[in-house]
């Protein structure tokens, strides 16, 4: 299958877990919660699904994902930039787990 756009990849249940979390993986000045829901919002815009932030369902999803990947934080309302590098990477993984993707792609840079 030829994947020519991010939206086509998402529609085909693929996720991209970037190694460069700071420039490609997170929105550092946004809350951890918003970062974790980024792919859910992207899917919502592609498929027209209704998923409102702040609802019991979205709060539960964030809590469940945070526990699943073991993000260490006192609040998911904290800006992602204040997490350690490892916890930022967990946020990147959590946002793709939220998308219910079947395939995760991760690429290393040459020389890594």
Nearest Cα neighbor of 98 from 48, 33, 45, 6 is 33
More confident residue, 82 or 100: 82
- Domains plus CATH for the chain? 7-19+27-105 (3.40.50.300)
H/E segment holding residue 95: helix 85-98
d(CA 97, CA 82): 22
- What is the Cα–Cα distance from 40 to 45, expressed in whole angstroms? 9
Average pLDDT in the 10-15 region?
81
Of residues 40 and 14, more confidence is placed in 14
Instruction: Tell me: pLDDT of 98 over 80.
Output: yes
Give 102 or 23, the one with higher predicted confidence. Answer: 102
This prediction has a pTM of 0.77
pLDDT at 44: 62
């Amino acid at each position: 299958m030829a994947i020519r756009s991010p939206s086509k990849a998402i529609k085909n249940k693929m996720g991209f877990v970037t190694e460069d979390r700071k420039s490609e993986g997170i929105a550092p000045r946004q809350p951890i919660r918003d970062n974790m829901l980024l792919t859910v919002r992207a899917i919502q815009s592609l498929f027209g699904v209704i998923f409102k932030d702040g609802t019991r369902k979205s709060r539960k999803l964030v809590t469940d994902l945070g526990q699943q990947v073991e993000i260490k934080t006192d609040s998911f309302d904290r800006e992602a930039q204040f997490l350690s590098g490892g916890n930022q990477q967990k946020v990147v993984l959590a946002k793709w787990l939220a998308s219910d993707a079947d395939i995760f792609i991760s690429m290393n840079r040459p020389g890594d």
